[in-house]
Amino acid sequence: MNKIFTFFLLLSVGLLQAQQLNCTVTVNSDKLGNANLQVFKTLETSLNEFVNKTDWTGQTLKQNEKINCSMFVTILSNNSDQFTATLQVQSSRPIFNSSYSSPVLNYNDKDFSFRYIEFENLIFSPTAFESNLVSVISFYSYIILGMDQDTFLLESGNPNFEIAQNIANVAQQSSYKGWSQIDGNQNRYFLINDMLSGSFSAVRKTALDYHSGLDLMSKDLKGAKEKIKVSLIDLGKLNSSKPNAFLTRIFFDAKSDEVLSIFSGGPSISISDLIESLNKTSPLNSSKWEMINY
């Protein structure tokens, strides 16, 4: 009996460790005024359980190895079981030998509408469209996983990005916005297709080199800053052939404040060429680049 108990104890521990995300999902319904808050509390609980208890990759991780992330759902309107919302997705990854976590993704999806009945089960199937709620949340779960892996090994996020692409392809059969190229030029369709396109490989290479530089900071701060600088200038080279690229914007939406912080402190390195490159690559953040002390 003891052996049987031990077996099931080990099995349960393995199942508990099989999840890969440490995600906080928040559902905000303030814009609805005097709405029935209970359904939104139920939805928030269900989404937290869905994201954090789903085994997305089959990879066993310890609690401190899970990816820290958040999803903030802002409900804009609802009619019975139909909801329109926005979804802010953020993730970060720890920097070697420090207590600092670097932002990897900070993206706001404004085409998030879904049907939801209180207490319904949220079940993910990579080959079937269960609901837009499940598809969108699952899609971004795999985007988070893929982008995190890309910061450690070049294009190692491909298996997760390919699942995200499959989710997008299956979801195109639905009438929901954001899955098709006809819905605009900055949506889920372009996010995943650009991520897997060789035309934008420079963005993923920069993600790796940039974070490798951050990981070096505890050993060689000046060398780390030089490495990060080179990675950003290399990304700037993409701008000549792909100006205002969607993935470049996504990169700086997560990184602009961090770049400002890195290059505003010592030790000093020559960055006039970096500032010139940043102003061309990410002009929307020009006010931040002006604040860099050099």
Structural domain includes residue 13: no
pLDDT at residue 43 in the model: 97
Dihedral (C-alpha) 110, 204, 50, 9: value to the nearest 10 degrees?
A: -170
User: Based on the domain organization, do 100 and 220 belong to the same domain?
Assistant: no
Last residue of a domain, one of 149, 173, 196: 196
Is the pLDDT score of 13 beyond 90? no
User: Based on the domain organization, do 106 and 169 belong to the same domain?
Assistant: yes
pLDDT at residue 33 in the model: 82
Average pLDDT (76-97) is 96
The answer to which of 24-28, 180-184, 244-248 has the lowest mean pLDDT is 180-184
Structural domain includes residue 171: yes
**Total domains in the fold of the chain:** 2
User: Based on the domain organization, do 184 and 210 belong to the same domain?
Assistant: no
Residues 23-58: pLDDT tens digits? Answer: 999 999 999 987 678 999 999 999 999 999 999 999
pLDDT band at residue 294 under the 50/70/90 scheme:
low
User: Based on the domain organization, do 211 and 236 belong to the same domain?
Assistant: yes
Structural domain includes residue 8: no
User: Based on the domain organization, do 31 and 165 belong to the same domain?
Assistant: yes
The answer to which of 11-20, 31-40, 110-119 has the lowest mean pLDDT is 11-20
Per-position DSSP letters for the chain, written without gaps between them: -HHHHHHHHHHHHHHHH---EEEEEEEE-GGGSS--HHHHHHHHHHHHHHHHHS-SS-----GGGSEEEEEEEEEEEEETTEEEEEEEEEEEEEPTTSS-EEEEEEEEEEEEEEE--TT------TTS---HHHHHHHHHHHHHHHHHHHTTSTTTTHHHHHHHHHHHHHHTTSS-TTSSGGG-SSSHHHHHHHHT-GGGHHHHHHHHHHHHHHHHTTT-HHHHHHHHHHHHHHHHHHHHHSTT-HHHHHHHHHHHHHHHHHHHSSSP---HHHHHHHHHH-GGGHHHHTT---
Last residue of a domain, one of 196, 225, 245: 196
Structural domain includes residue 11: no
Structural domain includes residue 184: yes
User: Based on the domain organization, do 89 and 161 belong to the same domain?
Assistant: yes
User: Based on the domain organization, do 86 and 189 belong to the same domain?
Assistant: yes
Structural domain includes residue 2: no
Structural domain includes residue 7: no
User: Based on the domain organization, do 187 and 71 belong to the same domain?
Assistant: yes
User: Based on the domain organization, do 56 and 184 belong to the same domain?
Assistant: yes
User: Based on the domain organization, do 113 and 149 belong to the same domain?
Assistant: yes
Is the pLDDT score of 10 beyond 50? no
Question: Sign of torsion, CA 132 134 139 140?
Answer: positive
High-pLDDT (> 90) share of the chain, %: 85
pLDDT at residue 64 in the model: 85
Last residue of a domain, one of 196, 226, 246: 196
User: Based on the domain organization, do 251 and 174 belong to the same domain?
Assistant: no
Q: What domain range is 107 assigned to? A: 18-196
Of the candidates 84, 102, 89, 77, the residue with the CA atom closest to the CA atom of residue 51: 89
pLDDT at residue 216 in the model: 98
Residues 56-68: pLDDT tens digits? Answer: 999 888 888 899 9
Distance CA 253, CA 104 (A): 9
User: Based on the domain organization, do 133 and 174 belong to the same domain?
Assistant: yes
Is the pLDDT score of 1 beyond 80? no
Average pLDDT value over all residues in the chain: 92
